[in-house]
């Protein structure tokens, strides 16, 4: 694994716990973790339970005892490491976004396909039981024809103007702001649930244009220094979408939505029913069926922790909530099974590319002030 | 009508609006309103739309042009006025509680039955569309055998120790505190929905035992004077109940439930389903059916404003909320129809008596520290 | 009053009840109601409590005993009646939309201003206590700088493809579909709460393009005949907006949002706090303040029925819900007070025009596929 | 560790993950797991990550390389194993209920105190961040004087009459039904949050008195055989309580609450504020403060996942939910720290005993039909 911060911790936890709750037909062994700072990566290896560590990812990807390379380093490093890992014949599990831009993403996909290695992109929210239930309901045709899709992904950690200029706020490292970080998840869920985008048009804002430069380059919440630097990514991006199936879409991602902490939601209306989900109550799914008796129809709040709900039965009895990190355990489980048993698996790099296409089409539409077709990018 | 304060206003509104939204086969004419204070009652007559006013209820009940006497004066006046109205051959619509005690209530019931007049007690919450829907679901057997009934009726207007010693806090005028005011509603709804009580046991509290005597005897929120008087009713009463059908019951009424403004709720669990309702969201009913597919079962939040819901179609299109006072319009509509067309009607004085029985059994159980059977009182 | 259907009933109720709950310094007398069908309008006059009726609105607007003309006839009749009423020196209270198009609306506004009569447009939702509270919070600066405004107005009565081709689905009578009917309310609330629009871009759909022609031209739910006609208005319209104050906006109106009955919502995020409201729970306002202690901050669900909330104290004690129709009582109260006492009043025809500008700018943006500035229309 | 079923899995997970998210100043090593069935325990050891296994708990408690014995075997085995572990000088972490009856519990407590070993009882819900926040708010006096405490613990897995006669339904093994299983948690939370019980009175039911005997003695959901056996524990128990601080309490536990899956809730009203919590939304706490401005007061829904909330900062950024099992990680963390560093720790066996006292007083009150003082048992 390359990377050992927030995502490194979430991924490590997934490898650590997957065998305890799922049968993967494989012994997942946590061989080595990699980071540039030796002290930091050594501590992480100890704490997270990795057998060894490396400070040079080039060494890591060449180790004989490694089958899967997990990449959760900052976005600007994804491409180079991925291509090297593929060249070394490793399967690759890459954090989103796949790459800083579409061209890089396509190159990574092509390389993986050519090499015949297995590849995954970590759109973890697909793997929550409530989201799986939404998918099942739609695939069974129980919502009928889809008319509306609306998604929000709202956080508020930037609303404080003294929050420092972290690397996530610099375009050259992060690629994008709320759009690439949060809309990426919403776009992937929309594609997963109702299919491909046709065209988009958006708008965005950087509400606070200058922020204090953090004294330590690592810190997210350090005391702001006296110096200020330019924020070069969006604080919020919203867009309208038309889907290929005729549905109307509406998306908003923001780091300025005061009071919303992790408000990743979707609401879908079809000719036969509707669905609503919210990551802040991730174990619940709200579902409405028109076929219910008229005086008894209403949104059902389903506690998706029953043994009848995908993955839920592997954890605890009904009513016992699971948390955010469980989605990572499930995606790791599916990817390992995919490698070992050839079971079908998405999301792959192709989904990463498709998502990137929509992100870039939105950015282009903002530049142009007019709709952009996905096929154009 | 006798009385022109809070309930007088709510009842007046019902008579005023009933003809606009319902077909009663009668012209409801607001003949006369009665109160001791001439200035006050005259103003109320003007404002509420009564043709005339009286300052002596004895005159009112003897007027030839009146068919129905509505009594919403303080509780200690109910009995005398009711008996006189019955003696004059009037139909009587009486606010709850029916009387200050069970013996008086039984006397009123006997008089009404003997005289053959129509009689009603104003348990208005029965007549909200969502509660009617609950009743219908239960009567159709869709909850199966009832196992649990839990009710709360929670307010918080007494939690401020400087709230003055209003008449509602004196036993000789009000009869009872939260118990008679709030549990009375909960007991009636329980009887309406699942049937008769078998035995009860309770406890109660008067958390603030002395309050400032209001300078004006009318005021509810006047500046407290320097003098304090004794609170002689309960601030809160809770009790357990066994129902004749075997269900377990749990009730709590309080005027000290900080943050709860009018939290009149019930939750019912049966062998086939469950129901939950809350007066603060009076247009909604939550319903759960075990017969739903296991992975899709959940509490449905039904917006009980559809034309398929009783009374709702007389107002506005689906989704347009009705309010608290609409229940009074509906009960007046049903009572007038009952008088004009002989349609079945409850709640009558009998329901007032039954409710009083449970209230008194609870009080007796508190004295004794042991269960009291309803049959005993 | 001209018109006696859904809105005629809601307005009549307001005139009937306003004097009972508010002090207007005027005796509101319901002089005459007007409609083309004598039998229908006579019945309505009786039922709603009007002293007389007319079948020709020209007669009505010339009657000497009338001060205010209330127009809630279908949209295509607004202009002609309004101009005649103004010419006759009457004050005018007009249902939304003000007119079928912007030019007509501007003409009506100019006529009213020139004649010096008082004029109002019935954006009733402004007058609910929870919405007034939202306005107060924003005006006091407690949300700080506004970053985001999102609104939905979702219904589902058209999702059944057999729902007949009612007049509301014909452009020549209704002017517009969900956009003019529902987005009009959302646009007005946004203007009321956070100010003027700068530019917009939208998309729309007519999901079901042909519907059965109703056998009776009146009926909304008649058995569809064998013949089908063209739906000439939108079933749903969504749009992005930039506000003059820099906020990002997002709006969606639909009659195809399965399960949503009257889901008129707004959510506003500012630098200091956030607000959320939903018409289906119209007595509640959710508010978040950043200034709350970090570990205790959360959206507060405020029950806006306290005496401290505008209008609420005129009805019932705290916790006793009011309903949809109360907004009409409040707007009538304010308009009458405005006429009698010269108190400030909005929304006037000017607000009707401003709203129409945004509606038309959205339509133009849909035609062009690009952003349209409000100033352009 | 003795036991390897539901609780064995939850406890194992806690030992496995604690070091990754918390600094305990100790290397927690999972030495050995113990169970009677060799095949079963061996599989569990492999899956959960234990170094070795034993089939005789007597051997386990005598192993030199073990410092802590974790006991989550069925309730009837707690006493014997605990006493042996204490005798061997081990620290003991015991699942609730501490013992089958109060006398046994007191014996265990006395033994542990005499031996000077550290002891804990697994009331895991204390250790969720939202519950910790509730505790902090109360301890800081922000609710003022406590007037009301209401708790429910509702499940519905027994409402199906064909659910087999599992060991949990036999008094000789389980000791008690819903009462000991669920009310035990509610009683402990009440003691933790507001203090000691004074007296109680209850009622209970066994709604389904006979159930099919499972063909396999292990199975919980096996096809019922043709034979039926007697259910000897309660399906539901409710009770009223008076607390020593004067608060009124109300408790209900049921396995027959259709639609409620794990509805462990408490609501507390004090003179200054109120709190509400529900395990089904375990990351949220609802709090109301009377000191808020009257027109802005409302229950706040606090997302207790912020770094300012106890334990939450050790997991993920704000808004990223944790799940049921995290409570076990936290209690293990605190117990290990207690052993290593002598930090204060509750709940100990004393809390197990206190809880058992209340449980037994309720049972006694049911027998007697009258209130029972806790001091009496």
Query: How far, in Å, CA of C232 to CA of C219, rounded?
Result: 18
Looking at residue D23, its pLDDT comes to 92
Structure tokens at C20: 């009972």
Provide the CA D151 distance to its chain's centre, in angstroms.
Answer: 14
CB contact under 8 A, B250 and D238: yes
Per-residue model confidence (pLDDT) at position A127: 98
User: Strand C146-154 and strand C248-254: pairing?
Assistant: parallel
Contacts of B240 in chain D (CB under 8 A): 201-203, 238-240
Taking contacts as CB-CB distances below 8 angstroms, the residues of chain C near B282 are: 321
Q: What percent of chain D has pLDDT over 70?
A: 97
In whole angstroms, what is the distance from residue B331 CA to residue B326 CA? Answer: 9
Predicted local confidence at residue D173, as pLDDT: 86
Q: Average pLDDT for residues A323-345, to the nearest whole number?
A: 96
Nearest residue on chain B to C322, alpha-carbon basis: B323
Which are the contacts of A139, defined by CB distance < 8 A and separation ≥ 6?
none
**Two tokens, residue B346:** 């409850």
Selecting from D145, D258, D272 the residue whose C-beta is nearest the C-beta of B269 gives D258
Residue C223: pLDDT band (50, 70, 90) is low
- Would you call A287 and B296 a contact, using CB atoms and an 8 Å cutoff? yes
Q: What share of chain A has pLDDT > 70, as a percent?
A: 97
pLDDT tens, residue by residue, A125-169? 999 999 999 999 999 999 999 999 999 999 999 999 999 998 889
Residues of chain A above pLDDT 90, percent: 92
The number of residues in chain C equals: 377
Give the pLDDT band (50/70/90) at residue A224: low
CB contact under 8 A, A259 and C288: yes
d(C-alpha C32, C-alpha C289), whole Å:
49
Rounded to an integer, the average pLDDT of B267-284 is 98
Beta-carbon separation of B296 and A306 below 8 A: no
Query: What are C265's two structure tokens?
Result: 């919502």
Handedness of CA D334, D336, D339, D341 (dihedral sign): negative
Question: Cβ of A5 under 8 Å from any chain D Cβ?
Answer: no
Q: Which of residues 49-78 of A touch B (CB under 8 A)?
A: none
Superfamily in which the A127-322+349-368 domain is placed by CATH? Dihydrodipicolinate Reductase; domain 2 (3.30.360.10)
Tens digits of residue pLDDT in A349-365: 999 999 999 999 999 99
Tell me what pLDDT residue A337 has: 96
The model's pLDDT over C7-58, given as tens digits with 9 standing for 90+, comes to 999 999 999 999 999 998 788 999 999 999 999 999 999 999 999 999 999 9
Nearest to D359 by CA among D239, D259, D266, D242: D239
Cβ of A287 and B295 within 8 Å? Answer: no
Please answer yes or no on whether C240 and A202 come within 8 Å at the CB atom: yes
Give residues 314 to 343 of C whose Cβ lies within 8 Å of B: 315-326
What's the gap in Å between the CA of D214 and the closest CA on chain A? Answer: 19
Residue-level pLDDT at C339: 96
In angstroms, rounded to a whole number, what is the distance separating the alpha carbons of residues B264 and D274? 17
Q: CA C284 to CA C81: how far, in whole Å?
A: 37
Beta strand D91-94 with D68-71: parallel, antiparallel or unpaired?
A: parallel
The whole-number pLDDT of residue A24 equals 81
pLDDT reported for residue C216: 58
Residue B219 has pLDDT above 50, yes or no: no
Q: Does D257 touch chain B (CB under 8 A)?
A: yes
Tens digit of pLDDT at every position of chain D (377 positions) = 999 999 999 999 999 999 999 998 788 999 999 999 999 999 999 999 999 999 999 999 999 999 999 999 988 999 999 999 999 999 999 999 999 999 999 999 999 999 999 999 999 999 999 999 999 999 999 999 999 999 999 999 999 999 999 888 999 888 899 999 999 999 999 999 999 999 999 999 999 999 999 875 544 444 556 799 999 999 999 999 999 999 999 999 999 999 999 999 999 999 999 999 999 999 999 999 999 999 999 999 999 999 999 999 999 999 999 999 999 999 999 999 999 999 999 999 999 999 999 999 999 999 999 999 999 99
Segment holding B358, helix H or strand E: helix B349-368
| Cross-chain Cβ contact D300/C295 below 8 Å | no
Average pLDDT of every residue of chain B: 95
Q: How far apart are CA B313 and CA D220, in angstroms?
A: 48
CB-based burial label for A74 (10 Å; 0-12, 13-18, 19+): middle
Pick among A142, A144, A148 to test the C interface (most C CBs inside 10 A) = A148
pLDDT score, position D219:
43
* pLDDT surpassing 50 at residue A249: yes
**Total beta-carbon pairs less than 8 A apart between chain B and chain D:** 130
| Distance separating alpha carbons of residues D341 and D281, to the nearest angstrom | 33
Q: How far apart are CA D299 and CA D289, in angstroms?
A: 8
Pairwise CA distance, residues D203 & A241, whole Å: 58
Query: In the structure, what pLDDT confidence band is assigned to residue C220 with cuts at 50, 70 and 90?
Result: very low
Task: Compute the distance between CA of residue C73 and CA of residue C50 in angstroms, rounded to an integer.
Answer: 17
Q: What is the DSSP letter of D155?
A: -
> Which CATH code for domain B125-368?
3.30.360.10
Q: Which of D154, D205, D290 sits opposite B248 (nearest CB)?
A: D205
Which single residue is written with the structure tokens 């609420």? C312
Mean pLDDT estimate for chain A: 95
**Is the ipTM value over 0.90, yes or no?**
yes
Compute the distance between CA of residue B181 and CA of residue B100 in angstroms, rounded to an integer: 11
Residue B173, class by beta-carbon neighbours within 10 Å (0-12 exposed, 13-18 middle, 19+ buried)?
middle
> What residues of chain A lie within 8 A of the CB of C253, using their CB?
none
A6-122 belongs to which homologous superfamily? NAD(P)-binding Rossmann-like Domain (3.40.50.720)
pLDDT digits (tens, 9 = 90+) for C234-267: 999 999 999 999 999 999 999 999 999 999 999 9
Query: Is the CB of residue D257 less than 8 Å from the CB of residue D237?
Result: no
The distance from CA B140 to its chain's CA centroid, rounded to whole angstroms, is: 25
Domain boundaries, chain C: 6-122, 125-322+347-368
| Alpha carbon of D284: minimum distance to chain C alpha carbons (Å) | 9
Taking an 8 Å cut-off on Cβ atoms, the answer to whether B301 and A301 are in contact is: yes
Q: Which residue has the tokens 């930090």?
A: D343
pLDDT of A220: 46
CB pairs under 8 A between A and B: 50
**CB-side neighbour CA atoms (13 Å) of D220:** 6
pLDDT of residue C219: 43
Q: Locate tokens 């009711």: which residue?
A: B82
- Per the CB < 8 Å rule, is D296 touching C287? yes
Any chain A CB within 8 A of the CB of C256?
Answer: yes
**In this structure, which CATH number among 3.90.1150.10, 3.30.360.10, 3.40.50.300, 3.30.1360.10 belongs to the domain C125-322+347-368?**
3.30.360.10
Contacts of C326 in chain B (CB under 8 A): 323
**pLDDT for position A219:** 43
Q: What b/e sequence results for D9-48 when a residue is b if at least 16 CB atoms lie within 10 Å of its CB, and e otherwise? A: bbbbbbbbbbbbbbebeeebebbbbbbeeeeebbebbebb
Contact, A296 vs A149, CB < 8 A?
no
Question: Chain B: residue nearest A301 by CA?
Answer: B298
Q: Are A69 and A91 in contact (CB under 8 A)?
A: yes
Task: State the best of D284, D320, D327, D330 to mutate against chain A, taking most chain A CBs within 10 Å.
Answer: D320
Interface test with A, best of D323, D326, D330 (most A CBs within 10 A): D323
pLDDT tens digits, B101-122: 999 999 999 999 999 999 999 9
3-state secondary structure of A318: coil
CB contact under 8 A, B298 and A308: no
Taking the domain D126-322+346-368, which CATH number applies?
A: 3.30.360.10
DSSP code, position B2: B
């Amino acid at each position: 694994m390359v990377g050992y911060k927030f995502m490194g911790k979430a991924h490590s936890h997934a490898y650590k716990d997957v065998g305890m709750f799922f049968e993967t037909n494989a012994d997942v062994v946590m061989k080595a973790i990699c980071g540039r700072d030796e002290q930091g990566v050594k501590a992480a290896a100890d704490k997270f339970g990795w057998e060894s560590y490396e400070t040079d990812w080039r060494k890591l990807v060449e180790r004989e005892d490694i089958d899967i390379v997990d990449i959760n380093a900052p976005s600007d490093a994804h491409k180079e490491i991925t291509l090297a890992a593929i060249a070394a014949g490793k399967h690759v599990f890459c954090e989103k976004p796949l790459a800083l831009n579409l061209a890089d993403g396509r190159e990574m996909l092509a390389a993986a396909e050519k090499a015949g290695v297995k590849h995954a992109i970590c759109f973890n929210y697909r793997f929550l039981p409530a989201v799986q239930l939404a998918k099942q309901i739609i695939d069974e045709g129980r919502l009928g024809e889809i008319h509306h899709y609306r998604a929000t992904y709202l956080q508020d950690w930037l609303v404080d103007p003294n929050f420092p200029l972290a690397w996530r706020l610099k375009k050259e490292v992060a690629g994008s702001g709320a759009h690439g970080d949060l809309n990426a998840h919403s776009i992937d869920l929309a594609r997963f649930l109702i299919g491909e985008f046709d065209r988009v048009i958006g708008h965005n804002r950087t509400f606070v244009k200058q922020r204090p430069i953090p004294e330590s380059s690592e810190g997210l919440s350090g005391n702001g220094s006296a110096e200020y630097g330019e924020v070069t990514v969006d604080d919020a991006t919203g867009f309208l979408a038309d889907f290929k199936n005729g549905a109307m879409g509406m998306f908003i991602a923001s780091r300025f939505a005061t009071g919303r902490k992790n408000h990743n939601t979707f609401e879908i209306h079809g000719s036969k029913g509707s669905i609503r989900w919210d990551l802040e109550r991730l174990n619940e799914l709200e579902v409405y069926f028109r076929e219910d008796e008229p005086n008894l129809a209403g949104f059902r709040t389903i506690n998706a922790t029953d043994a009848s709900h995908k993955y839920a039965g592997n954890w605890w009895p009904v009513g016992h909530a699971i948390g955010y990190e469980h989605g990572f355990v499930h995606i790791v489980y599916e990817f390992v099974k995919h490698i070992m048993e050839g079971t079908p698996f998405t999301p792959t790099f192709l989904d990463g590319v498709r998502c990137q296409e929509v992100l870039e089409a939105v950015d282009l539409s903002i530049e142009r002030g007019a709709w952009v077709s996905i096929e154009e990018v």
